[in-house]
Structure 1
Amino acid sequence: MCLCLPTNRACPATIAALHDEAAYAARRFGTDVSLLILDSCDDRTRAEHSRTVAALPPTPRVTVHHLSEQSQRDFLHRAIERAGLPEPERLLHLMVPTAVSYGACTNRAFLLATALGCRSVHRRDSDSTYQLHNDEPVFPIQHELPWLGRPATEAAAGVTRTDVDPDLIHRPVSLAGASFIGELSVDIGEIRRLDESVYHDVVSLWAPGGWPLERKRQLVEESFRGAGTAPFSGDQSTLTRVDPMRVDMCNIAFDHAVYDRIPLPPATDTIGSDYFLLHLIHDAGLPGILHNRHIENFHTPERRTDTGFPAYQRRFVKFLLSMLYFHHVYDRMAAAGDQLLDDQQRVRPEAITGLLRESTLLDRAENTWRLDRIDVSYRKLGGRYADFADRIAEERDRLLDQAQRDVEDFIHLIGAWPALVRAARTTVLGHEDATE
């Protein structure tokens, strides 16, 4: 298994905590664990992380791989070259873009896990921590590792309850996950504190434009809140088609049979770009395990600095614009159901690219309307929100173009993905730091 931490911020405590979870997994389940730290930090912060890694106690069956972004880039360059794909520079840019990309960093984890011989990826985030119960950390791996890739009929004996259609129970468990407690997953709590009505207007923009007001209100009520604030008090787990609204990417595990077939959207400067597989697994009728070992979420201060604030708000705006395309795809994936799978119960990439291509033909009027609403809402808040509205007004056409181009990039990456996965299986990581 690969326990993965992508990070672009200082997080020595998180690294140490993940090593504890890796040691628990090796001890509890007798599995080999690759703890993969994908470090996109500056040199000084990365050096601090290297000291943290060097100080970790040697642990049987646990190997720590601490890769700088350059090491990741070097590996991917070799894998892309081995795959012999056209436009290699474009692919390398989609895998290691210069801007922040939540999807791209997880795609790198998928290919690196493949190179390490892992059969599952378990992702955590650097701005979260484990809950404590009876002074012991609450590790999600307890529910993730035993059942991924195994038939749901076997997993049914190890969960609290089963809520899977009998027609789906023979399919493999493809996902295990939970949510978070604590702060909102998206750092927009200040908007709610400043003006509740503006918060409602802004958050409702991620719904399809044609939804009725009541349905939008319900979406706003449950958006970005995770599992609330109640702490862990005992295990509960359900074998089910996991609702994407009930899990978070800081607390998730995927079986390789899914990410071997389909990557995540590589969109840059867009929050939520890494949630696509959650929708795909649900809509294709692949079983998963929903549990309650929620991770504790917190926000780091850089998102509220003079430079971090507009950058983060821009990612939020791009997320809203991406919904024009992804709602179209999600609706059609839900309607397709079993047609998303081949006769071996594996996802059909060509079915997804067909839907994505359809979405690129959509009228942009709904996104123009979204930008108008954002402008009005942020100007109501005044201060730095009004300043941000000025910036967005200057970028309107560019943002509209980028939102569509992100989908086109995703289509391109899906087409290249099978060859990249095959190449990764025989590509050596290189001379990165690895400790056992």
Structure 2
Amino acid sequence: MQRVCLALPTNRPCAAAVADIAEEAAYAAAHFDVEVHLLVLDTADSAGHAENASAVGALAPAAGVVVHHLDTGQQRDFLRRVIHRAGAAEPDLLLDLMLPDTVSYGACTNRVFLVAAALGCASVHRRDSDSTYQLLDGRKVFPIHHELRSLGRPAGEAAAGVTRSELDPADAAKPVALVGGSFIGELSVDIGGINTLDPAVYHEVVSLWAPPIWSEEEKSALVEASFTGGGTEPFTVDEAVLGAPDIRRVDMCNLGLDHRVYERLPVPPAPDTIGSDYFLLHAVLDSGLPGVVHNRHIVNHYTPERRTGPGFTAYQLRFAKFLLSMLYLHPVYGEMIALGGELLDEQHRLRVEPVLDSVRRSAAWDRAANVHRLDVLDRCYRRLGGTYAEFADHLAPRRQHLLDEAQADAERFALLIEGWGALVAAARAQRVAG
């Protein structure tokens, strides 16, 4: 019987999400030959953690489900043991990359990966605390249904479990590395207010994350599709497509990954940066590993703190850093596309060395494009006025720091990739608290 890790990283009280994901865990254990390790990685403050602990404590026992609720201290202790056993050259820096004192979508995802390795899990299934499940005839629609039907299986065998196969016959022996869906509801990035105020400004700002070599037509198509997920149509019947995964239709709140992906490479641990956790989707697609994309989309909703006061400022800063991160990620994505199948070894595993080399070299890219991005943000946000103009005032004196930090994030990603194999091996020898 395989172990799988169904993970909910959170930094907020989320009792409803805990109850929901526990239902999904019970469904998985009841319908598949797996032992489900339900992992709640909790970095909420003391009050939020207490609320989450109460929700976890109230869960009814379910056959085949093991629950782990780790607070910040338990996560730090686990990481220290892993880093020490790995013999890392810069243990304090690695600990900070894995568990920073600020929001990091990449770091929390990397912690999930290491805990899953410690638990002996064959796959990770990630959800978010600001989303819920769709209903069909009063029953929740669980994405893990498709994830467990296909993940890790030779793609040729997995074809029997999908509604449509576009698999290249040459890829039949490769394992299904990714199974994902998207979301319905509000935009995945909370910038819809910009479009409401001024669609032209929205177009100019969102197009900043496009590769610089793209045409205006390609940028316009990107803006049209960006952050919209699976649209607004509710689920009615299953659709699951096997082949080269369309990662534009996959969101990190609705994703299953085979361990042979995340045990080879981490995701960028950049702090305060939206989208830092999507790197492995590109690695899977560009290397030619098969995936399944389905339509059991999760319902996305926003938490109120994003739209007022300090929460608004913090969120817009994460969006700005997302745009700046593209300077260093686009060259890597481009080189991975060029390498294609050469990213895999004879056992269909991702090769670390070419990715590490590319990430290292990308950190030296000229910053002119990021200076331009900050110029555009300043001009556009001042044009919007109100809280956006106030954010532009907040951003202006921090320009140099943001430019430096974006480059440092790229350099630290290379450092983490370099030590990742040793961290995964060390994690396998650790015990995980309940």
1:104 maps to amino acid: A
Once the two structures are TM-superposed, the CA of residue 87 in structure 1 deviates from its matched residue by 0.8
Residues 1:184 and 2:187 aligned together: yes
Q: Distance in 1 between matches of 2:375 and 2:67?
A: 48
- What does residue 345 of structure 1 align with? 348
Return 162-171 or 146-155, whichever deviates more: 162-171
Once the two structures are TM-superposed, the CA of residue 168 in structure 1 deviates from its matched residue by 1.6
- What does residue 161 of structure 2 align with? 158
Once the two structures are TM-superposed, the CA of residue 305 in structure 1 deviates from its matched residue by 2.1
Residues 1:385 and 2:384 aligned together: no
Q: 2:224 aligns with which of 221, 224, 232?
A: 221
Q: Distance in 1 between matches of 2:418 and 2:212?
A: 30
Match runs of 1:185-200 below 5 Å: 185-200=188-203
Q: Percent identity?
A: 59
- What does residue 10 of structure 1 align with? 13
Once the two structures are TM-superposed, the CA of residue 146 in structure 1 deviates from its matched residue by 2.1
Q: How many pairs are equivalent? A: 431
Q: Distance in 2 between matches of 1:87 and 1:20?
A: 40
1:340 maps to amino acid: L
Q: Distance in 1 between matches of 2:326 and 2:101?
A: 23
Q: Name the SS of the counterpart of 1:146 in structure 2.
A: helix
Unaligned runs of 5+ in 2: none
- What does residue 245 of structure 1 align with? 248
Once the two structures are TM-superposed, the CA of residue 195 in structure 1 deviates from its matched residue by 0.8
- What does residue 114 of structure 2 align with? 111
- What does residue 44 of structure 1 align with? 47
1:124 maps to amino acid: R
Q: Name the SS of the counterpart of 2:37 in structure 1.
A: strand
Residues 1:35 and 2:77 aligned together: no
Q: Distance in 2 between matches of 1:367 and 1:222?
A: 23
Q: Name the SS of the counterpart of 1:313 in structure 2.
A: helix
Match runs of 1:354-369 below 5 Å: 354-369=357-372
- Which contiguous aligned blocks of 4+ residues in structure 1 show a shift greater than 6 angstroms? none
- What does residue 319 of structure 1 align with? 322
Q: Distance in 2 between matches of 1:208 and 1:346?
A: 27
- What does residue 128 of structure 1 align with? 131
- What does residue 21 of structure 1 align with? 24
Q: Name the SS of the counterpart of 1:307 in structure 2.
A: helix
2:136 maps to amino acid: H
Q: Distance in 2 between matches of 1:243 and 1:395?
A: 36
Q: 1:420 aligns with which of 423, 428, 434?
A: 423
Q: Distance in 2 between matches of 1:242 and 1:263?
A: 19
Superposition TM-score, scaled by structure 1 size: 0.98
Q: 2:303 aligns with which of 277, 284, 300?
A: 300
Indicate the RMSD between aligned Cα atoms, in angstroms: 0.8
Residues 1:374 and 2:377 aligned together: yes
Once the two structures are TM-superposed, the CA of residue 48 in structure 1 deviates from its matched residue by 1.0
Q: 2:100 aligns with which of 97, 100, 110?
A: 97
Residues 1:172 and 2:175 aligned together: yes
| Deviations 1:271-304, CA, capped at 9 Å, x for gaps | 0000000000000000011111000000010111
| Deviations 1:329-360, CA, capped at 9 Å, x for gaps | 11111110011111111101111011112212
Q: Distance in 1 between matches of 2:297 and 2:304?
A: 22
Q: Distance in 2 between matches of 1:414 and 1:328?
A: 17
2:145 maps to amino acid: Q
- What does residue 207 of structure 1 align with? 210
Q: Distance in 1 between matches of 2:122 and 2:309?
A: 42
Q: Name the SS of the counterpart of 1:118 in structure 2.
A: coil
Q: Distance in 1 between matches of 2:77 and 2:28?
A: 30
Superposition TM-score, scaled by structure 2 size: 0.98
Once the two structures are TM-superposed, the CA of residue 384 in structure 1 deviates from its matched residue by 1.3
Return 164-173 or 97-106, whichever deviates more: 164-173
Q: Distance in 2 between matches of 1:322 and 1:16?
A: 35
Residues 1:290 and 2:293 aligned together: yes
Q: Name the SS of the counterpart of 2:325 in structure 1.
A: helix
Once the two structures are TM-superposed, the CA of residue 30 in structure 1 deviates from its matched residue by 2.8
Once the two structures are TM-superposed, the CA of residue 164 in structure 1 deviates from its matched residue by 1.9
Unaligned runs of 5+ in 1: none
1:194 maps to amino acid: L
Q: Distance in 1 between matches of 2:401 and 2:58?
A: 46
Q: Distance in 2 between matches of 1:224 and 1:66?
A: 30
Q: Distance in 1 between matches of 2:151 and 2:248?
A: 20
| Deviations 1:347-376, CA, capped at 9 Å, x for gaps | 011110111122122111111111111000
1:356 maps to amino acid: V
| Deviations 1:238-291, CA, capped at 9 Å, x for gaps | 101112211000000000011111011000000000000000000000001111
Once the two structures are TM-superposed, the CA of residue 421 in structure 1 deviates from its matched residue by 0.6
| Deviations 1:109-149, CA, capped at 9 Å, x for gaps | 00001111111000000000000001000000110012211
Q: Distance in 1 between matches of 2:8 and 2:77?
A: 19
Once the two structures are TM-superposed, the CA of residue 207 in structure 1 deviates from its matched residue by 0.6
